[in-house]
Structure 1
Amino acid sequence: MEDPMLRRAFCTLLIVSAVWAPALAQVADWPKRQPVKLVAVFPPGGSVDQVARILAQQLSTQLGQNVIVENRVGASGVVGTASVVNGPPDGYSFAVVFDTHAVNPSLISNIPFDTRKDVAPVILVGTAPMLLATAANSEYKTFADVVAAAKARRNVSVGSVANGSLGHLAMALLARNGGLEWTHVPYKGGGPLMQDAVAGHVPLSIASIVVTKPHIDSKRLRPLAVTTSVRSADLPDVPTVAESGFAGFDAPAWWGVLASAKTPPEIVRRMNDEINKALKVPEVASRLQGQGMTIVGGTPEAAAAFIDKQLTTWAQVVKENNIKAD
């Protein structure tokens, strides 16, 4: 090849081929190389673990490859997410996260990844309302009673599952927007909170519908309002905060699947397609809805937009209310 320009072009083509060929092969044979891992960022038995296991079982069938669940817990989901974000971006490891993912950057210093730049949202699996409730014999008969007491500065106390939890932040947001005043009482999880709520030791509780509904069903707690913009199908008679004088208020619990931002976008898109397909399987949908979840699905772009809004909303609430992690 005598022409220098042709020679340079040919060499460039060889270099580009050498760089891209392995990546193209990686995409083409996914997921044949090895089992796919779903990292549940909270302990076994919780909602994140259950979501991961429900998806893993169906995805194994669809992909023709083992999909395994690994629990990597700590720092409200940071530890497990970091293991995926900072691990090999080969499409064989995904994180299953909870709503704390969007709160953590504002509460936890030195997170070992950039939540916006280093993470590729794959899909928003679903959302669920949090439920404000009170003991069956409480003075609060309606959400309006709570609002009136809070406006009158009558020492209203609200318990949540943890300091900095989404329930805590939702009530802080509501207080600021509505000129309300209440005292936050943090607990170490849903179990202890429900024990005190049922006994009337804490006048109000804010927790997921999954945690609270059994006590509603047993008539030991009275539901007052849900935090999502629409009513819950599980509790259709319970009003939303938004329709109770706080238009636009929406603070859902949510579950999502994430990947490293360095993962080939073709693999992210394929995983998104497979999970969307799984969410349409009646048995999968039924099991997820049994947790009080409204299934969402959709594109990676829609998931990214949702999570970005959550990050912005809760960062502002944390800052304005000077909320600190335990």
Structure 2
Amino acid sequence: MKYTTRRFLQSTAALGLLAAAGWASAQADAWPSKPIRIVVPYTPGGSSDIIARIISQPLQEALKQTVMVENKPGANGNTGSDMVAKAPADGYTLLLCDVGALSISPSVYTKLPFNPSKDLKGVTMLAYSPHLLVVHPSVKANNLKELVAQSKAGQMDFAITAIGSAPHLAGVAVEKATQAKWQYIPYKGGSQALSDTVAGQTQVVMNGMLATLPFVQSGKLKVLGVSKATRVPLLPDVPTIAEQGVKGFESGTWQGILVPAGTPQPVVDKLNAELTRIIRSPEVRSRLTAQGAEVYTMTPAEFGSFFERERKHWATVVAQGNVKLD
């Protein structure tokens, strides 16, 4: 009797798994059947917003459904990210954000309303762009050494996307390495930090190249350094920050797509395939490359591993900088 019961339970469980797999597959086949929204947890005009608007039209054409970009800024990207984490796990709500900022949040915020590692699932990375260290043209410094010296001579306002953001921690790392002295001025997004520096309200800003380069090219901002291991082709005469004395320094923005954790894997895989094709297409790749971004794609599993490495890395940086928010 016990053997028969055990066999019955095993058969029932197997049938349950097959039914679940069949349901997930059927759901993926039916998806999408209604509009999709890409939530950008920052203000319009930043790197994530730029990429969201670049991919939304080709994604709409590929999926034959309306794809809308929705900006939900607040709390260094956590407001919009939390909204997606709590959204139905059906493939109709996507999060496009700076993965670096997302991986920093668990270490910076003592009361985060969601767990990025558990409540969100990575679909694919899309692009990477290094940070540019730029100043208002009125700042007389022409390199990092001169900027540091000028900062020690008087107050210098350093615009950041938010307290605890990747540009903020990058600024802290440079400050500690060079003994610079600047006052951090937090904003709700990179576009606002840039616009205030362009207006001369702040003197220094470090932000993703994708959003910052147009201001450099137009002469509205002056670039002093790039936060990559090697110089970038679009700015061959601009030295890296590492070249200017901060050995091994490298930072930047990683844009990626995530969905609520319970989203069926067939839907995630379908999204991954379409987004990978779109971001690698010659038209999209050339648009991003022209603005200083590099295309990066990953499988969902690779994305998960990357996120955990970033989380551990930034936890160390946050601890060293003693950056904490309630």
1:199-242 CA-partner distances (Å, limit 9, x unpaired): 66644332333443333223343211011223333322211112
The two structures have a TM-score, normalised by structure 1, of 0.83
- Is the CA contact (8 Å cut-off) linking 1:37 and 1:92 kept in structure 2? yes
- Counterpart of 1:181 in structure 2 is 180
Query: How far apart, CA to CA, are the structure 1 residues paired with 2:236 and 2:157?
Result: 23
Give the counterpart letter for 2:267 in structure 1.
I
- Counterpart of 1:78 in structure 2 is 78
1:248-291 CA-partner distances (Å, limit 9, x unpaired): 21110221111233333343333222211111222222333454
- Shift of residue 12, structure 1, vs aligned partner: 3.0
- Counterpart of 2:248 in structure 1 is 248
SS in 1 for 2:182: strand
- Counterpart of 1:239 in structure 2 is 239
Identity %: 31
SS in 2 for 1:244: coil
Q: 1:21 to 1:248 in 2, by over 3 A?
A: same
Query: How far apart, CA to CA, are the structure 2 residues paired with 1:196 and 1:254?
Result: 23
Please state if 1:221 is matched with 2:221: yes
- Counterpart of 1:118 in structure 2 is 119
Query: How far apart, CA to CA, are the structure 1 residues paired with 2:192 and 2:2?
Result: 76
Q: 1:300 to 1:22 in 2, by over 3 A?
A: closer
- Shift of residue 20, structure 1, vs aligned partner: 4.1
Query: How far apart, CA to CA, are the structure 2 residues paired with 1:78 and 1:135?
Result: 29
- Counterpart of 2:135 in structure 1 is 134
Q: 1:90 to 1:156 in 2, by over 3 A?
A: same
Q: 1:86 to 1:218 in 2, by over 3 A?
A: closer
**Which of 12, 15, 18 is the matching residue for 1:14?**
12
- Counterparts of 1:14-163 in structure 2 under 5 Å? 14-30=12-28, 32-33=30-31, 34-35=33-34, 36-98=36-98, 99-147=100-148, 153-155=152-154, 157-163=156-162
Query: How far apart, CA to CA, are the structure 1 residues paired with 2:173 and 2:309?
Result: 15
Aligned residues: 321
- Shift of residue 132, structure 1, vs aligned partner: 1.2
**C-alpha root-mean-square deviation of aligned residues, in Å?**
3.1
Q: 1:72 to 1:216 in 2, by over 3 A?
A: closer
Query: How far apart, CA to CA, are the structure 2 residues paired with 1:70 and 1:131?
Result: 26
- Is the CA contact (8 Å cut-off) linking 1:84 and 1:94 kept in structure 2? yes
- Is the CA contact (8 Å cut-off) linking 1:59 and 1:274 kept in structure 2? yes
- Is the CA contact (8 Å cut-off) linking 1:128 and 1:294 kept in structure 2? yes
The two structures have a TM-score, normalised by structure 2, of 0.83
Please state if 1:274 is matched with 2:274: yes
Please state if 1:261 is matched with 2:243: no
Give the counterpart letter for 2:263 in structure 1.
T
- Is the CA contact (8 Å cut-off) linking 1:31 and 1:65 kept in structure 2? no
Unaligned runs of 5+ in 1: none
Q: 1:306 to 1:230 in 2, by over 3 A?
A: farther
Moved more, 219-228 or 69-78: 69-78
Q: 1:158 to 1:130 in 2, by over 3 A?
A: farther
